[in-house]
Amino acid sequence: MAILPLSDARPLDAGERLHEAHAPGSAWRVVSGAVRLDTLDEEDGEPVFAGLAVPGDIVGAETLLLGQCHFRATALTPTVLTPWPGTVGSPSASLLGALARTEQRAAKVVALRAGQAIERVKRLIQLLVPENGGESLAHIVLPPLRDMADITALTIETVSRSLSGLRRQGVLESTGQRRGRGQKSCRCLMPSATPMA
């Protein structure tokens, strides 16, 4: 897992748009943070949650084929990207790896939409916790409730109640709990869902 020099790194603020749907763009690999993908509803043009990219995942691979993005990509938390594909390794292996990764990520996202509300939210957070060598005391920045609701197919209210429940269970600790604008950071006492084996 060679980390490329970060000279080309592109940082993104939480909520910042990487590219619009059906617009030109290029392909990136997520270095840190998380990105949500949306399709635009054919009828009303409303964005519909379509996928998630966490560190190691590729965003906008289809631009290499068509020169156009299928999805709208938005940073969920402060995020860092790097151009893709990198210059190392054979193109085929890199592509196959991206394909396999995409399938696995999609499976996790699908799983985020089944089961009880509190479990879904818990799994989502685990997906967002960076792996830090088995250490379970991770400090993470949570996405806005609106995004967590879209991802889990719950309502904002239910997500909020679930987070309260997780805090009550002790698997989540708020640090600098902020309503209003600003990031909601917290201390997470759950293991990472190990985004990539």
18 binds DNA (CB under 7 A): no
Question: Contacting DNA (CB under 7 A), which of 2, 92, 175, 181?
Answer: 181
Length of the chain: 197
- The b/e string for 151-189 (b: 16+ C-beta within 10 A; e otherwise) is bbebeeebbeebbeebeeeebbeeeeeeeeeeebbbebe
Smallest separation (angstroms) from its own copies to the CB of 110: 6
Q: Which is nearer to DNA, 39 or 160 (CB)?
A: 160
| Residues lying near its own copies in the complex (CB under 8 A) | 37, 39, 48-51, 58, 61-62, 64-66, 70-71, 91-93, 95-100, 102-104, 106-107, 109-111, 113-114, 153
Show the tokens assigned to 38. Answer: 């949306």
Smallest separation (angstroms) from DNA to the CB of 42: 20
Q: Which is nearer to DNA, 92 or 116 (CB)?
A: 116
Show the tokens assigned to 1. Answer: 């897992």
Angle at the Cα of 170 from the Cα atoms of 53 and 51, rounded to 5 degrees: 15
Question: Contacting DNA (CB under 7 A), which of 43, 107, 182, 197?
Answer: 182
Q: Which is nearer to its own copies, 1 or 168 (CB)?
A: 1
- The b/e string for 13-38 (b: 16+ C-beta within 10 A; e otherwise) is ebeeebbebeeebebbbbbebbbbbb
Near DNA by CB under 7 A, which window of 41-49, 64-72, 93-101, 180-188?
Answer: 180-188
The candidate with the shortest Cα–Cα distance to 175, out of 162, 184, 165, 164, is 184
Which residues lie closer than 8 Å to 17 by C-beta, 6 or more apart? 72, 73, 74, 75
In whole angstroms, what is the distance from residue 79 CA to residue 34 CA?
A: 6
- What's the distance, Cα to Cα, between the start and end of the chain in Å? 12
Smallest separation (angstroms) from its own copies to the CB of 173: 25
Task: Tell me which residues in 112-171 interact with DNA (CB under 7 A).
Answer: 116-118, 142, 144-146, 153-158, 160-161, 163-164
19-58 footprint of DNA as x/- string (CB under 7 A): ----------------------------------------
- Interacting residues with DNA (CB under 7 A): 116-118, 142, 144-146, 153-158, 160-161, 163-164, 174, 177-182, 184
